[in-house]
Amino acid sequence: MRIKLTSIMVDEQDKATRFYTEILGFKKKHDIPVGEYRWITVTSPEGPDDLELVLEPNANPAARLFQEAMFSQGIPLAAFEVTDIGGEFARLTAQGVAFTRPPTKAGPVTLAVFADTCGNLIQLYQPV
């Protein structure tokens, strides 16, 4: 048993693909039409290449309620590790990304939180 896929619900798959590739800098790996939606995955150019993040259509009303409630409560639904959190904060802010928390020390990490424009808050963290 291996962890090869993880997923994030997005309100609109085109918008999500743009944000996760053009703004965050991930690489698109799959983009395959499936019925009304698409199977879209991205990987990080910093590796590992076989660990994919699925950009899932948030079409289920129950999932939408969950996503909106977590967002309104300020709770991130995914976390990505970075090696230069100050640099990422500056780079993403310059591209218009909205942060709800600037880089802040918290125990063993420095973390920051931003909106992914698709209904989620995402946490960046850098181990201290």
Partner 1 sequence: MLLRHEGFRRLCQARDRLREVGEPCPSIADVARDVRISPFHFIRQFEAAFGVTPHQFRIHTRLDLAKRLLAMGQYSVTDVCMEVGFSSLGSFSALFTRRLGETPSAYRRRVRAMSQVPGTIPAGLTPGCLTLMGGLPPRAFAKASRNFEEA
List residues bridging with 39 in a β-sheet: 32
Binding-site member from 24, 42, 76, 119 for partner 1 (CB under 8 A)? 119
Comparing CB distances to partner 1, the nearer of 7 and 106 is 7
* Cα atoms found within 13 Å of the Cα of residue 11, Cβ hemisphere only: 13
> Residue type at 103?
P
Q: Find the binder of partner 1 among 35, 45, 107, 108 (CB under 8 A).
A: 35
98 near partner 1, rule: CB under 8 A? yes
Which of 71, 77, 78, 109 contacts partner 1 by CB under 8 A?
71
Among 31, 46, 50, 81, binds partner 1 (CB under 8 A): 50
Question: Cβ of 32: how many Cβ atoms within 10 Å?
Answer: 8
Confirm or reject binding of residue 61 to partner 1 (CB under 8 A).
yes
> Got the DSSP string for 48-106?
-TT-EEEEEE---HHHHHHHHHHHHTT--SEEEE-S-HHHHHHHHHHTTPPEEEEEEEE
Which residues contribute to the site for partner 1 (CB under 8 A)?
5, 7, 11-12, 15, 19, 29-30, 32, 34-37, 39, 49-50, 54, 56-57, 59-61, 63, 68, 71-72, 74, 93, 96-100, 102, 115, 117-119
